[in-house]
Structure 1
Amino acid sequence: MNCMAAWHAWAEKHKADIVMMGGPLGKTKKVSPTGIEDISNALGAFTVVRAASPEEAAKMFENHPHFAIFPGDSVEVMPVLAIPGT
């Protein structure tokens, strides 16, 4: 199975928990009180998933095809928090 077919198979397996497929990210602009500048970061793409905990979300990405496409790379998992006062 090629890398993209494996990626699509992963998405199909987890489609009930994928809230937003997301996609690749472009170049970064940093906006601060001093202005706008080009910067670099390690983010290459994003996907929003639904899980009972960050640990459960992380388990969804074990053996993800991303690792075959980008050897030595990783996936970072972080919760989306509620906006205070809403």
Structure 2
Amino acid sequence: MKNFLAIYLGTPDSMKKWENLSETEQQQRMKEGMAAWTGWMEQHKDILVVEGGPLGKTKRIDDDGIVDTRNNMTGYVIVKAESHEAAAKLFEGHPSFSIFPGDGVEVMECMPIPTL
């Protein structure tokens, strides 16, 4: 089994769709989404390496210093799977984009650190 990092993604456009919902619709979606997300986590508890969670504001650090920046990452989780394809299939129809205002999920293998 290999470890895979899944990054939940959302854009300003997807948030606009959420903001256009009424307060009642947002609350209903939140309730439905949290139930679906909790169900997904329970269904996959045997392959969860890190439960992850939501991500906050971003800072970029480079040779020029530290600056505020933005990206589309909204959350993460680390799972175990036999292959990249198997890991990706775990997120088909995931509540992060099927109910919540996300755009999708990107899945990548957590590679081992090379040894000399």
What is residue 83 of structure 1 aligned with on the other side? 113
What is residue 30 of structure 1 aligned with on the other side? 60
Distance 1:66 1:42 in 2: 13
Percent identity between the two aligned chains: 47
- Which residue identity does 1:23 align to in structure 2? G
Q: Which has the larger radius of gyration?
A: 2
How well do the aligned residues superpose, as a CA RMSD in angstroms? 1.4
- Displacement over 3 Å in runs of 4+: none
The TM-score, its normalising length taken from structure 1, stands at 0.92
Distance 2:60 2:78 in 1: 22
If asked which structure has higher relative contact order (CA below 8 Å, sep 6+), I would say 2
What is residue 101 of structure 2 aligned with on the other side? 70
The TM-score, its normalising length taken from structure 2, stands at 0.69
Bigger share in strand: 2
